[in-house]
Structure 1
Amino acid sequence: MNSRFARTALILLTTAIAAPSWAQAGDVESVPDSVVVIAPDFVPVTTSVGTKTSAPLIEVPQSVSVVTRDQIDLLNFIDVQQAVRYTAGITGENYGPDLRYDFLTVRGFIPVQYIDGLQAPVSASISNVGIDLYGFQSLEVLKGPASVLYGTNPPGGLYNLTSRRPDAAFGGELQVKYGNDDFKQAAGTVTGALTDGVRARVTGLYRDRDSQTDFVHAKRAYLAPALAVDIGPDTVLTGLGHYQHDRIDGDTNGFLPVLGVLRDNPVGEVPRSVNLGEPDYNSYRRNQFSAGYELVHDFGTDARFTQNARWSEYHEDQRTIYASGLGADNRTVTRSNFPYQDDVAQFAVDSRLEATRWTGPVQHSLLVGVDYRNYREASAFGFGAASSIDLFEPVYGQGTIVTPALTPSTDQRLRQTGVYVQDQLKYNRFVLTLSGRQDWTWTTNYAGAVPSTAKQDKFSYRVGGSYIADSGVAPYVSYATSFQPVVGQGLDGRAFDPTSGKQWEAGVKYDACGLPSDVKLFATAAVYRLRQDNVVTPDPTNILFNVQTGQATVKGVELEAVTRIRDRLSINASYTYADAKVTRSNVAGQVGAGLFGQPKHKASAFVDYSFRDGALSGFGLGGGVRYLSNSPGALPGPFVTTVYNTGRSTLFDAVLRYDLGDWRVALNGTNLLDKRYAGRCTGDVGCFFGQSRQVIATLTRRF
């Protein structure tokens, strides 16, 4: 830790200790006036992502993990990749500490991002938009097939971010952060009533930081206004919007040789900070914004109508010189130049009606809905050679750089309409969930000389049953399906069918029912078998075409527990076992190969303790450990002759903080031992270092 950072942390700590304090009403126990309840919502209770209703988590017959804002703040998660470090079934940071996107794997597959229940305007190549985590109240991960409620989706699952909403009571926070790699951030959120029946919130952030890679500098500006209006006594309209601008200079986004990163290089060890691009040329620019609303009308007879709608745009422009080969001397690196542009526009709307009805002793929680998505995306890229560079002593600016001309890559429109029905039947302690959905998708390709449209229809469903015991233990079993459209056609000229996913899952959930009110706990254990069919693989009769006979299978076990006891002790613990393999393929060597980016084992635990009385009252400290087994960086194929598995990694995290009334000062450290490891190696020159030691001080003033 450099002296400048140490001085800043000391100033922050001194300021916090000298600050005034107040006691928050409604504490679960008698505490000193100078101490507040610091994490009242640490443990999740409910989420709409699993059923699109307000059903408790324990009644959802499928694995759902929720990372609350209290967890995000306590563990100082900066992005979604970090927020899933202690969550089962999902792995982040597959490409190291990427400053642009959140690279995730859920049950062997890359999940699609949702924002407030509507799919984000993701591109054809990246399944998320890199929106900042600070603007959201929670992160929810629905694991396994989810098409029955959300339409086109990969079989591994999806994740949803729920925006901060306006509140009638005045409140908010102002926050500053400073850390190594010159990490600087100022953020804040303010909410309150403007007048009777009108509430507002504004959330903003500005970040200025370097990277663990030399000569990389990134800036981000984020603004999210929200306005809630009571149209009538039973109707609320909430407007939600956001704007985010990203500028990153000098980044190569990784791409380092295996020799010197994952394996020994005779010349030496590759520095973790090495930049093999052109710092004065490489650049990334992104602008994204959205405007939408949520309309809720309560009919007052156990019925409610909800509609979510959003218009979104996403624009990115990058140019990158990166390493593409290593010479026989093990130090001369050949490079390539890759400029890329992507533009996405999307309108999405989801309308649903919930109602509760009885047929004799059976309670029906009914949900009927229709959603529509109109998505347009166009991208272009260029490719060319760049000058070579020395791996161990890079010298930049050698020769003139010519940006390759851009060639259109994708130009497509997708329209999707889905109609879904769900009934949760409750009889005594039994809950039976029946869900079905019909989707119609039209994909129009404008890239050819003549536009072509492919229509694909698919029915998906889920059946699940739970038994909710008085003790809070709830065993469950479910079967669910999913689908994703596939672009292209076979040798016979017939358009491809969508890929399909199907999963059996059984498990048990526990919500600590019956324990004292100041003991909060939610724990889950699940086993599952997931299969994806209709995967495109080369046609054995004509290698110029493909057939849909490929298959992937994932079998796994997931254990997870989140608890907060007397607002003193919190524990996040999880274990994941995932046997993710290709089970059918016409590509030599792929059958039996592991799905890339999916470790077989992931184990993590974080324990935090807050002192509530005595001389240490207000202080808190915690520590965590994360373990990842090795994982393959790619699937074997014609262009991947060697599959590189990342090594096992064990990482340690810690937090030290002080809470005094409205103020909190915290010092969070991740990868404290500064372990050197690779997040992923996709090929001979495709390695990405994992996050090095990161120490960040945070000063927060709540009001």
Structure 2
Amino acid sequence: MAVYDTTLKALLLTGAAFAGFAAAPALAQEAAATDAGGQTLETTRTTVDGQDVIVVTARNYVPEGSVTASKTNIPLIESPQSISVVTRDQIDLLNFVDAQQAVRYTAGVFGENYGPDLRFDFFTVRGFTPKQYIDGLAAPITTTIFSVGVDLYAFQSLDVLKGPASVLYGSAPPGGIYNQTSRRASDEFGGEISAKYGNDDYKQIAGTVTGPVADGVSVAMTGLYRDRDSEIDFTKAKRVMLSPTATFQLGDNTKLTGLFYYQYDKVQGGSGGFLPVNGTLLDNPNGKISRHTNSANPDDVYVRHQTGIGWDFEHRFSDAITFRSNTKWSDYKEETPTGVYNSGNFVNTTDPSLPNYFREILQSNFTYKEEVESFATDNRFDVNLETGSVNHKILAGVDYRSVRNDADFGFDFGSHSIDIYDPVYARADATLGYPFAYNHQRLKQTGVYGQDQLQFGDFFLTLGGRYDWVKIKNFISDDTVKQDKFTWRVGANYVTESGFAPYVSYATSFEPVLGTDDQGNTYDPSTATQIEGGIKYDARGLGDDVKLFVTAAAFQIKQKNLVTSQVGSTGAPIGSTQSGEVEVWGGELELVARIREQISINGSYSYNNSEVKKSDVVAEIGRPLPVTPKHKLSLFADYTIQQGSLGGLGFGFGGRYTSKSAGSLPGPFNPVVYNGESATLFDAIIHYDTPDWRFAINGSNIFDKGYVARCAGVNNCVYGAGRQVIGTVTYKF
């Protein structure tokens, strides 16, 4: 058996080493504040008083630190701003499939408003769509979508930094950013192989293996293959993801980590199209439209290829000074050669004597392709020093990114119509191509930033400032926009010996705005400010077998210099005026707990009040931001039996409530605003663990609650995701 184990390790690590060294010319990611390498979950079998005891240890279930919040190793309890960390232990124990599921129990984050979309992770943070970062560097997001959809299995954690984040990351939305940290190589051998099967013919095999291959060299390989259908008729998707990494310990003080990822996606049948409001949210004389109905076309195709390659470098000059650098090249390509969808609502809403009365909808074909090429680098010094009785954690850095977006489209209006209650699909036109330019531009951004955390005993004062130079070249209009901006943050918190830490902070952010006003003047950047206060608690006095982190926060965000037609977004039509203002205020409560390695608890409550304060479109004033529910309440608890014949068996149950939210702001194409429906959904899991195996069945929306998640317009409604049940078998080594 020992010979078999040794041979298996050698074969697995040889494959991972080959992949890791293949990526070595462009080694990648950020030096994390905590050890993200290897598996932190461990299942052991012991004997206590003659009884077998199964203990599932999840060391990192409750987060303690996050590089995302400060770009250095400041603990969460000392960070004067809200940040939620969904760790790999949480992802594995609760069997989250994607990022939208992972933030279900996170305060201030609202996801799954676009139904069962198989391409992207859609969610908002405090009323705004967050920008995605991977390993601390901006992801190659497209012109229209702030998510690139890299699979959750590739990552060690998902961090949501709430509120303005420009002082560390440059241009950013007011609601914040989310950063996903890739899995890392470990100097101890380990890994897993898992297989999933679920309803809608969900099939997946995935695995990760890591360990040392030479003195000072550790490698890892993570991969995934998925083939699934959707609850929407004629829709299916395939995904392949590979992510090798290698870490080189170059002496006692220098480390180089290489990260690479590649992902291929193909979705057929569209994302379900858009359903009419009559028959979903509102009554229809023909009855309810089934949530399985596809208003798109089985011939619709979406194809995506994306690659990221780069390095993380760390060198310690002394115990007080460390230099860190992370750099990444990314290439993102997506294409929709056929994109038939519901574009014209019902063709007959006036004559009930005809058979197509409130039945037949108009379809158009929208083809689209975009390529995003990006380069990003972040270089900084960490300095720890003492000046008298004051301890300083100083961060000073410069980052740069260059992004080229090229997008083109085609559009064929009203090419066909179908009976939404009994659809017969025509063959989609695959010859339309992409004859029109949508966006061709290059963005260059350089930022210089500094931060100092001053410690006076148990009191911490954090000061940060940044200056950005942004240059955007529009190749279609041959215009160049240059926008410079200074942003800053100040925060204070007091950490008591019992683990309570009240805090207060003020932060600013900005985003470039394209276009010119009525007088031909270039727009100023859109700006935002946030004041936040709250209290954190880390249960340090409750004993080693109780881990708990609680955050309670109240905040107010104000965004200014908005071009009327693009509240909460960037990019503006020529001829608009820059006078819009938005305000969001609210409160959040979030709890993550792991008690005696037996009970896990995730819970949150969020209240958000959003309002358009100023706009040239009078109808917008006083309106809430889209997909920003006032209330979100969620709680999930999981318990594992440790002793007796049922030792290793566990089960969990949770519920989540989200109140209704507006589908859009009123505009010329959607003068009537429709609210999506409020929903109370329940999730459950049952699992059994041994030292080598884990068996789990998890269910989302287990009672199959049907509801309209969003209606962006009269012909643009989507149902929320229905019941999903997935079984997982995992072999751990």
**TM-score bin, normalised by smaller chain:** over 0.9
Of 552, 555, 563, the residue aligned with 1:528 is 555
Q: What are the within-5 Å matches in structure 2 for residues 208-227 of structure 1?
A: 208-227=227-246
The corresponding residue for 2:329 is: 311
Give the Cα separation in 2 of the matches to 1:501 and 1:323.
Answer: 36
Indicate if the aligned counterparts of 1:166 and 1:201 stay in contact, CA closer than 8 A: yes
Superposition deviation, residue 23 in structure 1: 8.3
Q: What is the one-letter code of the residue matched to 2:480?
A: T
Q: Does 1:341 align with 2:369?
A: yes
Please tell me whether the aligned partners of residues 260 and 269 of structure 1 are also in contact (alpha carbons under 8 angstroms): yes
TM-score for the superposition, normalised by structure 1: 0.94
Q: Which of 177, 201, 221 is matched with 2:196 structurally?
A: 177
User: Could you tell me how far apart the structure 1 residues matched to 2:459 and 2:283 are?
Assistant: 58
Identify which of 210, 216, 235 aligns with 1:191: 210
Structure 2: distance between partners of 1:525 and 1:343: 41
Paired with 1:235 and 1:165, the residues of 2 have a C-alpha distance of 16
- Are positions 1:495 and 2:495 aligned together? no
Residue 380, structure 1, aligned to residue 408, structure 2: yes
Shift of 1:26: 12
Could you tell me which residue of structure 1 aligns to residue 502 of structure 2?
Answer: 475
**What corresponds to 1:17 in structure 2?**
none
Query: 1:93–1:399: structure 2 CA closer, same or farther, 3 Å change rule?
Result: closer
Superposed, which structure 2 residues align to 1:533-548 within 5 Å?
533-537=560-564, 545-548=575-578
1:389 aligns with 2:389: no
| Whole-Å separation in 2 of the counterparts to 1:320 and 1:392 | 20
Structure 1 stretches of 4+ moved >3 Å: 22-34, 398-402
The amino acid of 1:585's aligned partner reads: S
Query: Is residue 457 of structure 1 aligned with residue 477 of structure 2?
Result: no
Asked if residue 601 in structure 1 is aligned to residue 661 in structure 2, the reply is no
- Kept in 1, the 8 Å contact 2:142–2:372? The answer is yes
Q: Name 2:692's counterpart in structure 1.
A: 662
2:180 equivalent to 1:152: no
- Structure 1 residues 258, 229: closer, same or farther in 2, change over 3 A? same
- Secondary structure at 1:418's aligned position in 2? strand
Distance 1:185 1:25, change over 3 A: closer
Mapped pair 1:641 → 2:646:
no
Summarize the alignment of residues 251-650 of structure 1 with structure 2, pairs less than 5 Å apart.
251-279=270-298, 281-318=299-336, 319-324=338-343, 325-327=345-347, 328=349, 329-385=357-413, 386-397=415-426, 403=432, 405-448=434-477, 451-537=478-564, 545-650=575-680
- Cα deviation, residue 405, structure 1: 4.5
Give the Cα–Cα distance (whole angstroms) in 2 for the partners of residues 31 and 410 of structure 1: 70
Matching residue's letter, 1:346: S
Displacement, 1:233? 1.4
Q: Take 2:627 and 2:50, find their aligned partners in 1: how far apart are those partners? A: 46
Call closer, same or farther: CA 1:398–1:291 in 2, change over 3 Å: closer
Give the conservation status (yes or no) of the 8 Å contact 1:191–1:199. yes
Residue 54 of structure 1 and its aligned partner are, at CA, apart by 1.0
1:113, CA displacement in angstroms?
Answer: 0.1
Counterpart Cα distance in 2 of 1:155 and 1:27: 50
**Hey, what does 1:161 align to over in structure 2?**
180
Partner residue in 1 for 2:570:
none
Instruction: Work out whether residues 42 and 691 of structure 2, in 8 Å CA contact, stay in contact via their aligned partners in 1.
Output: yes
CA separation of 1:173 and 1:679: change in aligned 2, threshold 3 A: same
Deviation at 1:544, TM superposition (A): 6.7
Task: Measure, in 2, the Cα distance between the counterparts of 1:26 and 1:156.
Answer: 45
Partner of 1:690: 720
Q: CA deviation at 1:40?
A: 2.4
Q: Does 1:121 align with 2:140?
A: yes
Q: Report the Cα distance in structure 2 between the residues aligned to 1:679 and 1:271, rounded to whole angstroms.
A: 14
1:31 deviates by 11
2:56, 2:689 within 8 Å by CA — same for their partners in 1? Answer: no
For residue 134 of structure 1, give the secondary structure of its aligned residue in structure 2: helix
Unmatched segments (≥5 aa) in structure 2: 1-40, 350-356, 567-572
What amino acid does structure 2 have at the position aligned with 1:208? D
Q: CA RMSD in A?
A: 1.8
**Number of equivalenced pairs:** 676
Give the Cα–Cα distance (whole angstroms) in 1 for the partners of residues 271 and 184 of structure 2.
Answer: 37
Letter in 2 for 1:60: S
Residue by residue over 1:302-339, the C-alpha shift from the partner in whole angstroms, topping out at 9 and shown as x without a partner, is: 21111010000000001210111213111011001000
TM-aligned CA deviation for residue 489 of structure 1: 1.0
Match of 1:652 among 682, 692, 705: 682
SS at match of 2:616: coil
CA deviation string 1:645-699 (max 9, x = no partner): 0111000000001001110000000101100012211001101111100000000
Q: Counterpart of 2:619 in 1: which secondary structure?
A: coil
Deviation of 1:24 after TM superposition, in Å, equals 5.5
The answer to whether the Cα contact below 8 Å between 1:252 and 1:320 also exists between their aligned partners in 2 is no
Cα distance change, pair 163–155 in 1 and its aligned pair in 2 (3 A): same
CA distance 1:166–1:26, change in 2 (3 Å): farther
Match of 2:10 in 1: none
Distance across 1 between alignment mates of 2:95 and 2:419: 37
- One-letter code of the match for 2:142? S
Deviation at 1:453, TM superposition (A): 1.4
Question: How big is the shift at 1:252?
Answer: 4.0
Quickly say closer, same or farther: Cα 1:212–1:368, change in 2 above 3 A. same
Q: Report how far residue 403 of structure 1 moved.
A: 2.4
Secondary structure in 1 matching 2:89? helix
Q: CA deviation at 1:165?
A: 0.2
Displacement of 1:300: 2.3
Which of 259, 268, 271 aligns to 1:240? It is 259
Aligned-pair distance for 1:562? 0.3
Residues 156 and 181, structure 2, Cα contact 8 Å, conserved in 1: yes
Q: What is the CA–CA distance in structure 2 between the aligned matches of 1:497 and 1:31, rounded to whole Å?
A: 73
Instruction: Quote the offset at 1:342 in angstroms.
Output: 0.5
Match of 1:291, as an amino acid?
I
**How far 1:615 moved relative to its partner?**
2.6
After superposition, the C-alpha distances for 1:158-200 in whole angstroms (9 at most, x for unaligned) are 0000000000000010000000000000000000001000000
In the TM superposition, what whole-angstrom CA distance separates every residue of 1:80-131 from its partner, at most 9, and x where no partner exists? 1111000001111121121001111001100000000000000111001011
Task: State yes or no: 1:250 paired with 2:280.
Answer: no
TM-score when scaled to structure 2?
A: 0.90
**2-side partners of 1:225 and 1:472: how far apart?**
39
1:492 Cα shift?
A: 2.3
Deviation at 1:469, TM superposition (A): 0.3
Percent identity of paired positions between Structure 1 and Structure 2: 51
**1:207-226 CA-partner distances (Å, limit 9, x unpaired):** 00000111111100000000
- Distance apart, 1:278 and its partner CA: 2.0
Tell me the distance in 1 between the aligned counterparts of 2:583 and 2:424.
47
Counterpart contact for 2:635–2:654, Cα < 8 Å: yes
- Given that 2:416 and 2:426 are in contact with CA atoms closer than 8 Å, whether structure 1 keeps it comes out as no
The CA deviation at 1:34 is 6.2
Amino acid paired to 2:731: R
Q: Given that residues 277 and 713 in structure 2 are in contact (C-alpha distance below 8 angstroms), is that contact kept between their aligned partners in structure 1?
A: yes
Deviation at 1:157, TM superposition (A): 0.4
Q: Is the 8 A contact 2:506 2:532 kept in 1?
A: yes
Gap change, CA 1:262 and 1:664, over 3 Å in 2: same
Question: Aligned equivalents of 1:393 and 1:520: distance in 2?
Answer: 54
Q: Name the SS for the 2:308 alignment partner.
A: strand
What secondary structure, in the 3-state scheme, does the structure 2 residue paired with 1:382 have?
A: strand
User: 1:301, CA displacement in angstroms?
Assistant: 2.8
Mean CA deviation greater in 205-214 or 66-75: 66-75
> 2:70 aligns to what SS in structure 1?
coil
